[in-house]
Structure 1
Amino acid sequence: MTDDQPLRLADLTPTIQGYLMAAHALGAGGEPVTSSAMAERMGASPSTVSEGVRKLVALGLAEHRPYAPVELTATGHSLAVAMVRRHRIIETFLAQCLEYPWDAVHAEADALEHVVSDRFVDALDAFLDHPRRDPHGDPIPTRDGRVDPLGDTPLDSAPEGSTGVVTRVSDRDNAVLRHLADIGLRPDSRVHVESRQVELGIITVSLGGRSVQVGTPVAAAVRVRLDEG
């Protein structure tokens, strides 16, 4: 690419796009962006991911020094956010218009996001009336890369007696998503933390007028915006 022809998503292979998404997701989640962490997230070998990171650096999408975390450049970050937008808009379309269950949209969007055009994504966005969140509650970046602030707390860290609204849930574990759907713990649900039995790994919450016990691994996948005061 020359200086007057910046990289576009269409210029990147699906594999490079996957590396960008993994690096962005780790950084957004506050985790160190290392080759080993990316390998675990992508289900790939560390040596394969190390080679992928070298390609990101060669393309000007990342910077990496030995024994230091991977850092996306401004271009890499911009393209990663565009991929996030594409992925979450497709998820929203699948859930709202094709009635995909929320534990199936992630994998389907993973397959589709690499082959659709920016024009198609913009058309979906307009058709859906510019949604702000995907089916799991994650914010959808705008076309210019702006993202709504989160300001939420993991449910497993919420204090006993606190009340709030579920903002989003992790889409990394389909079994957890199915369990959350079964008990009705979804984005926009109001919850009250009745008790925390840390030694037993159980949090009891009031949800829709009933008490529900939630294991701490499941609670860790749920984010809540706590009421003030």
Structure 2
Amino acid sequence: MPLGSLRPTPLVEQAVDRLREQITHGEWAVGTKLPGENQLAQILGVGRSTVREALRALAEAGLVRARQGAGVFVIATKPKESWSAELRQAAVADVYEVRMIVEVEAARLAAQRRTDEDLPVLGAALKARRAAGAGSTPDFVDADIALHAAVVGAAHNPVLTSLFTEFVPVLREGLIDLVELLDLRAGDPQHGDDGHALLVDSVVRGDAETAGHTMRDELTQTLARLRSL
């Protein structure tokens, strides 16, 4: 597949697509040194800055790597998957193990850092989870995740919040399956209410030790159920 001049816009995206095609279609095998920036710019009909941005994107995708003083070389013919894609494919139990690491510490931090503005958010999330007990399983799971998100948010750490947000799609799907498969809400539509009430109360009171233990106990129980499937 020969290279050729690009359309006027968007140049960087087009350059990335064209160069990626050369790699994924086998025109440039692993170990191949790419043409220099000047040559690529001339072939593609763009400036060197556009080529540089395109090569950076290819490097982030795990397709090429620059070697100091040697040039840019192909290191793979298949882009590496994003963190989100890996999470979607991971076993829910595996994700839960990481969730425990994240949320137990988040609960402790939330108890230490929660502000007056966090209190009504936590209270509303607990109330919404209880109200969702009368609804469908997906609605209940969504309310449960929203409560956990409120606790993580009260930790006021953007990295923890970002990590939890990445977990949500896998967690939601896995929890819906778990609740329905084990019929956890039979006779107890608000399954786990006592533990969640204690979690919110401990965060509100600033009791970091209880908040962490409560979160760990809840997640440990859920993880055990996941592993029993």
TM-score higher than 0.5:
no
TM-score, normalization by structure 2: 0.22
TM-score, normalization by structure 1: 0.22
Higher radius of gyration, 1 or 2: 2
Specify which structure has the higher proportion of helix.
2
Specify which structure has the higher proportion of strand.
1
